[in-house]
Structure 1
Amino acid sequence: MTRYEAAILDVDGTIVRGDRLLPGATEGLRALEDAGLSWLLFSNNPTRSPDHYRKRLAEHGIDVDLEHVLTSATVTAEYLAANHDDDAVYLVGEDRLESILEETGLEVTTDPTEATLVLGSIDRGFTYERLRSALETLEGDVPFYGTDPDVTIPTDDGAIPGSGAILAAMEAVAGRKPDAVFGKPSSVAASAATTRLGASAEDTLVVGDRLDTDVELGTRAGMTTAVVLTGVTTRADLERSAVEPDYVLDSLAEVDSLLER
């Protein structure tokens, strides 16, 4: 028997790293299933849809239900469609995010004078002109949102700037912070995950490799948290961080030790 009903799992750094399946990932997922837990994957990647992760994990023999995959892009799109379906979005972000937004029926415009909402995200084509146009819209006191707070993203070639870096530039010129940032660790993200799982926060386990997103999500929501050391977090980081996970695991394989408690 286990006290948990469900688990929220990060993807990159927890299950895979690049194209490589991380050691212990398959064993950890099997342990969750054997214990009867439903699990959901949650990535802060704002340029990917659930189908991307379904196909990516299928290459490693892991079957994933599309309804149990969330990304900061899908959470953002769902929130905006529910609360700002009449707004025209000025997007500082990439084409794949734009497609996800438009698939939910949202209008995305490149004209800052027509926009009634600004959304910031990772943008590898970020330019001075795009920042200037975002500022022009933000001067109209419109809603200002971000997809996720990740300042950097780990890759096989080292860290690259993420959405948080773009949002920092937008905040600086506009003189205001976003009204909300939707990815982990936001309350919007936690609510979206528990709704999909059909579980309460106190019965949910969160496992990920980032203290400031995965663990912070669970801490804020009242979930049990575990950090894995297969991604960005090191033991030295744990000693310095104000965010404290309930458990520290060398890999996802060790999640079975939590299920026995």
Structure 2
Amino acid sequence: MNVRGAVVDLDGTVLRGETLLPGAAAAVAALRERLDRVLFLTNNPTIPPREYAVRLRELGVDTTADDVLTSTAATVAYLHENHADERAFPIAESAIVDQLRDADVPLTDDPDAAEVVVAGYHREFHYRDLQAALDALGGETAFVGTDRDTTIPTEDGRSPGSGAIIRAVAGVTDREPDAVLGKPSATTARLAADRIGVPSDECVLVGDRLDTDIAMGERTGMTTVLVRTGVSGDADLADSDVQPDYVRDSLADVPALLD
């Protein structure tokens, strides 16, 4: 494999919940020894890059905020580019709302004043949020989702993700989102390419999901590696049109592909 950069998923590939997956720290170190750049790319919208960097350093993976690109960061970039100065009504939990506010996205708590609705991960999602979506998403109001992951891997198994919330809003309003960020969106792919500074055909993408990780790598011409430590398994491979270039048990097995 002739590559100069690696795009590596976090949840399900490097981490499961708060736990570092076996061999992940050594694998990241080995990739960094062989490549020009390693970028972590996650569809988890709740943790800002600086907090991810702190968490990874505490687990033994030397990381800076610039090494991490999240779906909320991609959502912020999309909003600034396409809905600058428009009032956003978030249907998402406070960890996402705080990041939008910190990034100077204008926010409103009045559905009738919304110019764009931003839906994402929300563990306290309620019937009243569906009513707010109905009230907000009329006329010219835009509809944006943070990421399409319907489930996320945790230490206790799978839990509902942002995609579940976005689908609920789409269902009640009978309307598909204008954009869903995170992997495999074109905006996120562009941001990742800009950050890593290596042409896509000279990158390897490592992740645990066919529909987001591997799909993005396939669309952008990256070499793709599916690891079996997260969401997608062999049964999913048999039923999917999206196929990785390699399948390995874990991230620990990936550096050997570069030899």
Kept in 2: contact 1:5–1:199 (CA 8 A): yes
1:23 aligned onto 2:16 = no
Q: Secondary structure at the match of 2:107?
A: strand
2: CA distance, partners of 1:37 / 1:253:
19
Q: Which amino acid aligns with 1:240?
A: D
2: CA distance, partners of 1:134 / 1:110:
12
Q: What is the alpha-carbon root mean square deviation over aligned residues? A: 1.3
Q: State TM-score, norm by structure 2.
A: 0.96
Following superposition, the deviation at residue 210 of structure 1 comes to: 0.9
Kept in 2: contact 1:8–1:39 (CA 8 A): yes
Following superposition, the deviation at residue 48 of structure 1 comes to: 1.1
Residue 174 of structure 1 is matched in structure 2 by 173
Q: Which amino acid aligns with 2:180?
A: V
Q: Secondary structure at the match of 2:238?
A: helix
2: CA distance, partners of 1:19 / 1:78:
27
Deviations 1:18-51 (A, max 9, x none): 2222122123212211213301001101111001
Kept in 2: contact 1:31–1:255 (CA 8 A): no
1: CA distance, partners of 2:156 / 2:35:
38
Kept in 1: contact 2:17–2:153 (CA 8 A): no
Q: Secondary structure at the match of 1:199?
A: coil
Kept in 2: contact 1:78–1:104 (CA 8 A): no
Residue 109 of structure 1 is matched in structure 2 by 108
Q: Secondary structure at the match of 1:7?
A: strand
2: CA distance, partners of 1:256 / 1:135:
49
2: CA distance, partners of 1:117 / 1:183:
18
Q: State TM-score, norm by structure 1.
A: 0.95
Deviations 1:232-254 (A, max 9, x none): 22222222222100011111122
Residue 124 of structure 2 is matched in structure 1 by 125
Residue 195 of structure 1 is matched in structure 2 by 194
Residue 244 of structure 1 is matched in structure 2 by 243
Kept in 1: contact 2:91–2:119 (CA 8 A): yes
Residue 52 of structure 2 is matched in structure 1 by 53
1:151 aligned onto 2:133 = no
1: CA distance, partners of 2:35 / 2:115:
46
Q: Which amino acid aligns with 1:152?
A: T
Q: Which amino acid aligns with 1:25?
A: A
Q: Which amino acid aligns with 2:188?
A: A
Q: Secondary structure at the match of 1:166?
A: helix
Runs (4+) of structure 1 exceeding 4 A deviation are: none
1: CA distance, partners of 2:54 / 2:118:
28
1:92 aligned onto 2:122 = no
Following superposition, the deviation at residue 76 of structure 1 comes to: 0.5
2: CA distance, partners of 1:133 / 1:27:
47
Residue 232 of structure 1 is matched in structure 2 by 231
Kept in 1: contact 2:16–2:153 (CA 8 A): no
1:78 aligned onto 2:65 = no
Q: When the two structures are aligned, how many residues end up with a matched partner?
A: 259
After alignment, is 133-142 or 106-115 more displaced?
133-142
Kept in 2: contact 1:154–1:232 (CA 8 A): yes
1:254 aligned onto 2:253 = yes
Kept in 1: contact 2:226–2:248 (CA 8 A): yes
Q: Secondary structure at the match of 2:255?
A: helix
2: CA distance, partners of 1:57 / 1:51:
10
Q: Which amino acid aligns with 2:62?
A: D
Residue 4 of structure 2 is matched in structure 1 by 5
Following superposition, the deviation at residue 258 of structure 1 comes to: 2.2
- In structure 2, runs of 5+ residues without a counterpart are none
1: CA distance, partners of 2:95 / 2:203:
31
1: CA distance, partners of 2:235 / 2:228:
11
Kept in 2: contact 1:229–1:250 (CA 8 A): yes
Deviations 1:87-106 (A, max 9, x none): 00011001111111111111
